[in-house]
Structure formats: C-alpha cells, structure tokens
Copies of this chain bind each other. A is one copy, B any other.
Amino acid sequence: MTDPSLAAALEKADGTLDASLARLFELLRIPSISAQPAHAADCARAAEWLRAELSTLGFAAKVCPTPGHPMVVAHDAADETDMRPHVLFYGHYDVQPTDPDTLWDAPAFDPYEKTLEDGRRVIVGRGTADDKGQLMTFLEACRAWRSVSGRLPVRVTVLIEGEEESGGANLLPFLKAHAEELRADIALICDTGMADVRTPGITTGLRGLVGEEIRITCATHDLHSGLYGNAARNPIELLCRALASVRDGQGRVTLPGFYDGVRVPDEATRAAWRRLYPDDSGLLAPVGLSVAAGEDGFSAIEQTWCRPSFEINGISGGYEGDGFKTVLPSRAMAKVSFRTVPGQDPQAIRDAFRAHVRALLPADATVSFASHGASTGFAVPEDGPFLPAALQALTDEWQVPAVTIGSGGSIPVVAEVEEALGMASLMIGFGQADDRMHSPNEKYDMQSFHKGIRSWIRVMAALAQARRPA
C-alpha cells in the first residue's frame, strides 16, 4: 500500500542514480583524513562541499568551526505549526588513513566501480563504506523527496562532523553548546552494516573503546647487541611480555576486575543471533580465518557483539627496515585498545592495564602511557514507535524481514547524543562484512548505495506515520 508520493520518490531515486553516484564520487575524491595534520585543508574542503550540497537540497546549511575540524550543520525550514517528527541525521566526512598505500589496487582517493568475482558491483575507495557512501544515501533520499514533493516527510536537521576517526573530542562539547538547535525526536545514523548481504538490520548494540599508547625505555640510547646483548635490558622483550599476558590462552582478559559489570545476553537474544549466524564461518571465512579466537563458550558473533576484548593495534621497536641490524634498542612502543560492553568502567580498565604493565617491569625500565579515548558499550533502547516503523520500511525495501543486530564497533555519537540531547538513535546502515573498512581497497556495494537511498526514502515516510512521542 505505497503512498503515491513514496512511489514517485523511489522512481526518482532510481532514475537519477548516475547523478547520485557522480556526487558521491566528488565527495570521495577529497582526501579528508582527520588524523593527519597534512590533510586539514582537505577536511575543510569536504565540509564546504557538504554545506554547498545541503544548500542545493533546500537546507539552511553552515560550516561551524571547532578547535579541530569543522562541523556541518543544516536545518530544514519549519515553523511552530510543523507537526512532522523531527530527526537529527548524523554522519562524518572524515576518513581513516590509507596505509599501507602499496596494497591499494588504485589510489585510495580515486574511486572507481568494479565487479567482484561473485558478480556484485562495488565502488572502491577510502571512505566509500565509512562513511561517505553511507551518509550520501540519506542526502540522496532527501534530494529525491525534495524533487517530487517539495517537502521532506519528516523535519530534518543534519550534523556532519570531521573527527570521528580521530577521537571526536570536539563532538560532545559541540552538542552541548548547540543543544537547543540540534535537539530532535530521534537521531538517525548511517554508519553500520546489514545483518548479511540480503538482510537489512538496525543496530541496537555497540561496544565502547579504551585506547592506550605505551612506551618502554631502558638504555639511554640504542646499543650494539653483541657488546651489550644479555647484560642490557631489552624494551621490546618487556613489551612483548606485558602484552602477551593481558589475555590467557583461552582468549580471556586477565586484568583483575575486567569482567565486572559485564552481563551475558538472555537466551532469547542469543538464540536470535544463532538463527542469523548459525556458525562462525559467516564472519571468519571471508577474511581467511576459521576459528574464533576469543573466549571459549561464545560464538564469533557473540565475541564481537557482547564480549569485551583486548587488541594490539600496532607495535614498533628497533630496526624494521630491509636486511638486518644487530641493535639492542633503547625503546619500544605499542598501541592497544580494549573494546568495552555496557556495564564496564573504561577508566578502571585503563588503570588496571597500566598497573599490569608497571607490575611486570624490572629494574632499568621506565614506561609512559598516552590515552586515546575511553568509552563504554551502549545498548539502544528498543521501545518507542520509531524502531518498529523503521524495521517495517526496511523489510518493505529488501523483501526480507529486517532484524535488530549488535556491532563490535564503537560509534561515540550515540552515547553523546543521549547525554547532551536526551535522544535515542536509530542506526540504519548498509555496510557489508567484506567492505574492508580501515583497510586498503575499502569498498561499498552498489546495491547498498542504491537500495540504501530507497531505504531512507521509505524510512522517512514510515517515521512520518509513526506516533510522535508526547
């Protein structure tokens, strides 16, 4: 029973897909890497591109400076008689670094289309899946609605930040400072994945992130490993000892108190997840793995959706170049992170990790730590009218029942929007497990882009029909 204007908007989106893709490619070509100061001007360019784009879509759009990269804020015209549900759409224009560049098939900011061996058509480039392809599905849905109706089904405010990949320290202060302007009935975020290539999902669980950098120093300078080897303390060896002992041989973190506050999901939830993912190969096989490496007793999906974990993200020390060098280095470094679940205390975890390392250090070793963020896991409340309405809209588009799913990843804005604006979020995304986010040759399925636009067209109409909360 499709509303004729809905049908028209969907038809419009289908008919202008090439132009939508061209607009996405323009945004993809801007190397907006927020973690690298050399690309600060590119981040500003991306913000300006979005401001101009939103303006053509009929928004009152502006670029707002922050101590870091700017925010883009856009408002849909509305007066006090406007009864439409009000949504805040959030996305981020910044992208991950591209290293190692040698592993990309083509330059990371030169997007192109390609057909995979299984026949899927994809768009390749940094930011295609995270987050530019995704956020453009929403903007293109707005374009389609504006084109056939002149007016969006829901009242839309747009917030696009530029530091999600590099800690996002300026987001919470910005939300608080602009709360009146940004508050809405519900937040919409397009930065997550589908349950599988056929099954749309709304993400209702996220993990948090505690990031740490650790540096161990022994001798005052690099030493000759013959003249000093055995007598001089080796910081790489100490680092290996500290990191290797954070988890035991069964994938469990050994830090005291680490699992305090962690609850196992109820059996109904675990059963629902088992129906979605009957075995570990769904997650692991596409990346060349076969055995879930986390705690015994939990499936691979459970290990990433509802169990906290420890990862070593990078390690460095001594001679790393070609050939060999008989050096006994003065220092060694690692970057590590803990993924947290609801109920854990990120600061206590950081303290326990630092205590663990310090306790292992012998004489002649000093350690310094640097913090890279601290958040706990988040569970989105599943009550209210918007979630079921959105699920139905997705089901209508994909012709497969949409499901609620978890995620191993962290999206800080969800907790921050709740803290600063008192709002819940709907995380509706069209990413796939093999998108290679954060890796070389990142891609986004053309089907995700096209049906993602159509999905948002439907979701906006469905939210407009949902009972607006009192």
Contacts and interface: CB of A to CB of B under 8 A. Distances in A.
Interface of A: 35-37, 96-97, 99, 103, 166-167, 193, 207, 209, 211, 213, 218-234, 236-237, 239-241, 243-245, 247, 251, 280, 283-284, 287-295, 300-301, 303-304, 307-309, 311-329, 332-335, 337, 339, 362-364, 372-373, 407-410, 433, 436-441
A459 to B, nearest CB: 23
Contacts of A316: 315-316, 320
A94 B254 CA distance: 48
A387 to B, nearest CB: 22
B288 A219 contact: yes
A167 B326 CA distance: 11
A-B CB proximity, top 5 nearest: A226-B409, A230-B309, A314-B318, A220-B288, A230-B294
Nearest to A433: B227
Chain A, interface SS category: loop
A315 B318 contact: yes
Given A229-B339, A314-B319, A339-B226, A166 B293 contact: no
Contact of A313 (B218, B243, B319, B439): B319
A189 B328 CA distance: 24
A229 B325 contact: no
- The count of identical subunits is 2
Given A97-B319, A231-B284, A233-B289, A327 B307 contact: no
A121 to B, nearest CB: 21
A371 to B, nearest CB: 10
A344 B332 CA distance: 30
B209 A226 contact: yes
Contacts of A218: 288-289
Given A224-B409, A230-B293, 15 more contacts: A97-B321, A99-B321, A166-B323, A222-B439, A227-B304, A227-B433, A229-B408, A231-B289, A231-B292, A232-B289, A236-B315, A237-B247, A240-B244, A313-B319, A320-B333
A229 B324 contact: no
Contact of A304 (B37, B230, B304): B230
A40 B157 CA distance: 62
A328 B311 contact: yes
A137 to B, nearest CB: 20
Contacts of A213: 324
A184 B410 CA distance: 71
A277 to B, nearest CB: 11
A438 B35 contact: no
Contact of A231 (B99, B224, B304, B441): B304
Contacts of A323: 35-36, 166-167, 372
Given A230-B294, A303-B230, A321-B99, A287 B237 contact: no
A430 B243 CA distance: 41
24 contacts: A35-B322, A35-B325, A36-B321, A99-B321, A193-B227, A207-B226, A218-B289, A219-B288, A220-B288, A222-B440, A225-B438, A229-B304, A230-B251, A230-B293, A230-B304, A230-B309, A231-B300, A237-B312, A239-B240, A240-B315, A290-B364, A313-B329, A314-B318, A326-B438
A262 to B, nearest CB: 13
A237 B228 contact: no
Contacts of A309: 229-230
A167 to B, nearest CB: 7
Given A290-B364, A312-B236, A373 B324 contact: yes
Contact of A319 (B193, B284, B335, B339): B335
A259 to B, nearest CB: 13
A35 B237 contact: no
B335 A324 contact: yes
A362 to B, nearest CB: 7
A317 B288 CA distance: 18
B439 A221 contact: yes
A210 to B, nearest CB: 11
Nearest to A208: B226
Contacts of A226: 207, 209, 304, 339, 407-410
B307 A230 contact: yes
